[in-house]
Structure 1
Amino acid sequence: MKMNINRILLYIMLVGFSVSCTTADFEDNYTDPSKLSETSVGKQFTGMIYTNRQSVLPTYWDYFVIKRITSNRYTQAVGWVNTENQYVPGSAAVNDRWNNYYNFVAQYRELEKVYNDLSEEEKVDNRVFMIAAATYFYDHTQQVVDLHGDIPWSEAGMLSTNGGDYTKSYAGYDKASDIYTKMLDDLAGFADELRTLQINPAIEIEFSTQDLINRGDIDQWLKYINSLRLRMLTRVSGTSEFSARAKTEIGTILSNPGQYPIVSENDSNILFRIHTLGTLMPANNFQSGLEDWDGNIAGKAILDHMVGNEDPRLTYVFQPGENAEGEYLGLDPLMNPTEQNELVLTQTLSIYNHSTISRNQYFPGLIITAAEVHLMAAEYYLKENQDMMAKTHYEEAIRQSVDFYEYLRSISNNAESDDPIVPTEESISAYLSMDDVSWEMAGSSEEKLKLIAEQKWLHFNVVQPNESWHELRRLGKVDLEFWEDNSNQQSLPPSRWMYPGSEQTYNMENYSVVQPEDKLMNTIFWDVN
């Protein structure tokens, strides 16, 4: 009996759960991937994206179970009442995030299996699906690598491919840097291949139907590919192994927008949009996920920066507490926990804006935005001593970010919060001239890099907290003070997540190779600041 239970659990880890949608439309376009005779490359492509939706859309699971106690706190995007053991990622968060990713991996492997069974002519016709699928897969692989480091990857999710043979399906760990190399190599190839790919008209129609991200828009997929390359290259640019490659490829991308288009304006943001409420997730998921247990309280540092510099985004991102009489107040992380709790109960602390963010039922899943891309470009040009180009991208990033939060408010179906103060050219220019924001006021390259890092932190806040945490660790430029938990060996935020307990239980032979490095304060290979 114990062996059967273990096999069932292992099967879940290696293959993943089957998924279904509540709408007939979705069921028509995607069948159970285990029924390979009834599926197709297009349907499996849709199913792969759908399986991963909870890690992209602002779901209760992703926010309440995972981000509330990890990246939202490690970045001080939120304020919270200090407790013992608060810097150790909870086992539920780690296990759930891990299992969700490997369910997604299994779906991708099923897609590969379906594709590999096609004739050579059919493979050519369906190539567009595989390029798009790999791009999306690599995006979310990077996110998991940046949490853990080395992970099972090239051999993972192969149980079905291996004919159900468990002995062939225990996955070894790939080095994080090797995974980055493989993904960067492939994405560079995709950027050239997709630009010239001749797509069968019938496949083009099917692709537009099955594509939940870009609705079949090839130009958008090209921008996704190249912007993802920028993100990956920027992430590893400080390492000796990748620095030369990053410099060359980032320069090539940025200097050839016709050949390598990127997300440069909000109209081309890569988003997982909500078109019909209730089809992809319950409509109130974000509200519960962010607001439950006071998870939406403003962190003091991020709010003080916005208030002190008259940030045009302030009234879109935050709102005063119910009893605050219009005043903005963030929760100080260094306060005594008892005093923190008493302050929370007064309802004078500012919170994330209901109408723009948590109660906006059309809030999309954010994949890549123009503001992030311009900040990456600013960093590149700064390091290349092209100061005016760096300044141009830095200021454009801020303008795109302001416009993006206006967009988020414009699509909201919630009007509970007070109307925001609409930014003007004058208010944006005034913000760009503030001492803590102005490019000219920064006296050195290091100070300018700090400005870029802070704008990433402000733009990401709670809407992309994992990206924020990765960049905080990589750059080390945002000054945040944390309460020290002297009762625990982990007294401050970690440098990575540990592996879930299931790896020790079911994959011990392979886990034993990485076990010596499985420590919270061991850094990811790109964290070299």
Structure 2
Amino acid sequence: MNFKYIMFLLVLGVVISSCTKEQFEDAYADPEKVAETSIERQYTGFLNATRGHIVPNYNDYFENLRITLNPWTQSISWINTPNQYIPGSRALDLVWNNYYAGMRQYREFEKVFDASEAEKQTRLKVFKQTADIHFFRETAKMIDLYENIPFFEAGRLSQNGGDYDNSYPAFDLGPDIYAYMLDELKVIADDFAAGEPGVSAAASLKAQDFINYGDFDLWKRYANSLRLRMLNRLSLSSEFSSRATSEMAEILGNPSKYPVVENNDQNIMIDIYDINSAINSGGFNGGINSGGWDGDDAPKAMIDYMNESEDPRLRVLFEPGDSANGEFIGIDPLLLGNDQNDLRNTSVTAFYNRTTTSRNQSFPGVIINAPEVNLIKAEYYLKAGDDAAAKEAYETAIKQSTDFYFYVNSLGADRIAGEPTPVEESEFDVMFATEAAGWDNAGSQEEKIELIASQKWVHFNIIQPYQNWAEIRRLDYPVLEFWVDNSSLVKTPPLRFNVPGNEQSFNKSNYEAISGEDELFNPLFWDVN
């Protein structure tokens, strides 16, 4: 495949691909440490502050995903223990603090932009628009975890002149924030459709942007694909269903005005160019395999599904256990912990392919890619009554997902898992004829929704865990069984995260306004199934 992988040099700003972490962080302004910055430098600082939940890293995987979203979506197996469904305070703090650290950088960027002369604001408008797109992506992820968060007045301590007493932000409602972001994204998409940025701004953006490298076409696709994701997320909510249907129709019906990510060359992701630079996936292995805590053991439900559907991704996503005679076997989540441990210790259970994932220091940070967009399309077309278009999008997504994971495997310098056998087109013919994955074998719209949801689950796996958990809650597919923890008040996986204790304590009066909604088993506003 000819994936987007151009050489990126930050000729006018930071040279990320050859910087140490210290050099990189010196190249942009931290609002808490320096008095002067610029639109361009602060823009890169904001992007950098958000990469902790995009590029695979130790903290996110070990301290959060290993014990929350990945087992709760059965993207990994785990050993059943008491209180396993209670989100740990460290995991909650990590996600919350990372988001608001990024928000502080965004607000400082916003402050610098707003203080600039009118001519500069006009010339560099594309910086504000693309920063907004990315910030809205980060914010939607937070709402999908917590629903109600401080947003509109949050992160403004610097803008408020350091006045702490007047900088404690109110909690805003998830539906209100979603509506605002969709409005803003529509304005940006229409403005992007009207014309490209000037030569000066385009060159400067190319120098500072390490997501799309200044490629304006990719930013348009990012904006519209994010709109599709968010509208799809809200599509079952009575408050948003009409808007979701009409705006998705507008986007998909006018691809020249509202282009989306169509193929893997257009994927929105942070590529790794130098594993010795600040941007790398070197912490991926420790994040899922640190200190004997296995975060990459194969889950029985996913392995069984891929076996039943004769999915060619199986050999590039997983490795069979050393004693499994080449068979892919997952750990049953309903077994007692001791029995699960015994099974794992016999080395018969599969685990994620190390060349593709954990040992792959060049694994890109995935933001939005073509398989996800096509699965969104499949759901939309199915509900609109166009079965042929839905089937085409569904099957295209599976092929693109397969190509994507074989491509990512090829980036891994550590070939410990060996070379996967290339995929033949005939393998898709076999897969699409199975009862488990064949579109034409599904007898109802609901069964086809289950197919789409199952393919999202396989495609997202441990790589897009936040999207995975959101879509499983929204669609209630695939149907997953969990061990019931009768020793705990939280007996099964929750439906949301709790607001962290520090936020509850230090922003007490504002938190109290939404505390009644902040319950683990209170469905989010878009989770209506």
TM-score band, normalised by shorter chain: over 0.9
1:528 and 2:528 aligned: yes
Amino acid at match of 2:267: N
Give 1:193's aligned residue: 191
Aligned residues between the structures: 509
Residues 55 and 280 of structure 2 are in contact (CA less than 8 Å); yes or no, is this contact kept in structure 1?
no
Among 157, 165, 170, the alignment partner of 1:159 is 157
Q: What SS does the aligned partner of 2:439 have?
A: coil
1:72 and 2:62 aligned: no
1:417 and 2:417 aligned: yes
1:184 and 2:198 aligned: no
Amino acid at match of 2:376: M
Distance across 2 between alignment mates of 1:385 and 1:283 = 42
Amino acid at match of 2:442: A
1:355 and 2:355 aligned: yes
Q: Residues 175 and 458 (structure 1 numbering): CA distance in 2 closer, same or farther, change over 3 Å?
A: same
Report the CA distance between 1:337 and its aligned residue.
1.0
Residues 474 and 528 of structure 1 are in contact (CA less than 8 Å); yes or no, is this contact kept in structure 2?
yes
Give 1:264's aligned residue: 262
Report the CA distance between 1:283 and its aligned residue.
5.1
Give 1:448's aligned residue: 448
Q: What SS does the aligned partner of 1:367 have?
A: strand
- Kindly provide the CA deviation profile for residues 148-204 of structure 1, in whole angstroms up to 9, marking residues without a partner as x: 011000010010100000111001011100000000000011111123345232222
Report the CA distance between 1:96 and its aligned residue.
1.2
Q: What SS does the aligned partner of 1:250 have?
A: helix
Give 1:386's aligned residue: 386
- Kindly provide the CA deviation profile for residues 180-232 of structure 1, in whole angstroms up to 9, marking residues without a partner as x: 00000000111111233452322221110100100000000000000000000
Give 1:212's aligned residue: 210
TM-score (norm 2): 0.94
The sequence identity of aligned pairs, in percent, is 46
Give 2:228's aligned residue: 230
Query: 1:248-327, aligned counterparts within 5 Å?
Result: 248-281=246-279, 284-292=282-290, 293-327=293-327
Give 2:11's aligned residue: none
Residues 59 and 281 of structure 1 are in contact (CA less than 8 Å); yes or no, is this contact kept in structure 2?
no
Residues 233 and 246 of structure 1 are in contact (CA less than 8 Å); yes or no, is this contact kept in structure 2?
yes
Amino acid at match of 2:90: A
TM-score (norm 1): 0.94
Distance across 2 between alignment mates of 1:506 and 1:516 = 18
Distance across 1 between alignment mates of 2:334 and 2:89 = 26
Moved more, 405-414 or 89-98: 405-414
Distance across 2 between alignment mates of 1:197 and 1:174 = 34
Residues 136 and 181 of structure 2 are in contact (CA less than 8 Å); yes or no, is this contact kept in structure 1?
yes
Give 1:430's aligned residue: 430
Q: Residues 360 and 270 (structure 1 numbering): CA distance in 2 closer, same or farther, change over 3 Å?
A: same
Q: What SS does the aligned partner of 1:366 have?
A: strand
Q: What SS does the aligned partner of 2:179 have?
A: helix
Amino acid at match of 2:333: P
- Kindly provide the CA deviation profile for residues 379-435 of structure 1, in whole angstroms up to 9, marking residues without a partner as x: 001111111111111111111111111111122212110221211110111111111
- Kindly provide the CA deviation profile for residues 476-513 of structure 1, in whole angstroms up to 9, marking residues without a partner as x: 12111100000111100000001100122100000001
Distance across 2 between alignment mates of 1:52 and 1:231 = 19
Amino acid at match of 2:263: E
Q: What SS does the aligned partner of 2:367 have?
A: strand
Distance across 2 between alignment mates of 1:35 and 1:53 = 20
Report the CA distance between 1:276 and its aligned residue.
1.0
Distance across 1 between alignment mates of 2:169 and 2:26 = 33
Distance across 1 between alignment mates of 2:441 and 2:33 = 62
Give 1:140's aligned residue: 138
Structure 2 unaligned blocks of 5 or more: 1-18
